[in-house]
Amino acid sequence: DSDVRINPSILAADFVNMQAELARIASADFVHVDVMDNHFVPNLTFGPQMVERIQATSPVPLDVHLMISDADRCAPEYAEIGAASVTFHLEAAADPVALARRLRQIGARAGVAVKPATPVEQLFDVLDEFDQILVMTVEPGFGGQSFMADQMPKLRRLSDEARRRGSRVWLQVDGGIGESTIAQAADAGADTFVAGSAVFGAEDPGAAISALRSAAAS
């Protein structure tokens, strides 16, 4: 898949003006929704009720990123709400392939995420079980952190392997993505880019989205 997708993260949005914030990113491909449980990561955001309201209000489909410990039990609920994609962490799932199958069965794209210290090689034989793989470029938990360029070799190994196998899996990066870092990730094989502060911190989020799109494509 050679398309570029830009998914703004609402973690950087104004939570009490969510409807207006969502309207500002109508030119995005998906809205990235970070669910945190104060256990898998040391931060807490929101749960299924809030995500359901975001789903009802958003002009673009939802890309849900679950940073929660009990992925096997909780992830399907987000697919049932109607999220376009549901990504759980490999470190948090007892049976990642079974969970991905369940998500697809409900009708969502199934995603799996890896933290910076987690190798991707264990996913090589099951690439087809997933619609997207998220390589974290920060330690999950907070927005506004610096992009970890040391994750690029891992991303490149994954993208080489996906190409070798003729896989159509989307490769996503999340953390510290902005105009000055997105090209490195695109060069290493990413096609789907999460950006929080770079979009919602901009005066004109729509212009920020187009700038990221062209920087990723160049």
Residues with catalytic roles: 34, 174
CB 164, min distance to ligand DX5, A: 28
Contact of 184 with 2, CB cutoff 8 Å: no
Site string for Zn ion, 36-65 (x = CB under 5 A): -----------------------------x
Residue 205 binds: one of ligand DX5, Zn ion, none (C-beta under 5 to 8 A by kind):
none
Output 37 or 174, the one with its CB closest to Zn ion. Answer: 174
Site string for Zn ion, 163-182 (x = CB under 5 A): -----------x--------
Contact of 135 with 172, CB cutoff 8 Å: yes
Output 79 or 212, the one with its CB closest to ligand DX5. Answer: 212
Concatenated DSSP letters of 8-63: EBGGGS-GGGHHHHHHTTTTSS-EEEEEEBSSSSS-B---HHHHHHHHHH-SS-EE
196 known ligand binder: yes
Structure tokens at 67: 């940073």
The angle that helices 48-57 and 71-81 make with each other, rounded to 10 degrees, is: 30
Cβ burial 180-218 (10 Å sphere, 16+ → b, else e): ebbebbbebbbbbbbbbbbbbebeebeebbebbbebbee
Summarize as ranges the residues that interact with ligand DX5 (CB under 6 A). 9, 11-12, 32, 34, 65, 138, 140-145, 174-177, 194-198
Residue 195 binds: one of ligand DX5, Zn ion, none (C-beta under 5 to 8 A by kind):
ligand DX5
Output 167 or 175, the one with its CB closest to ligand DX5. Answer: 175
72 known ligand binder: no
Annotated binding site for substrate: 9, 65, 141-144, 174-176, 196-197
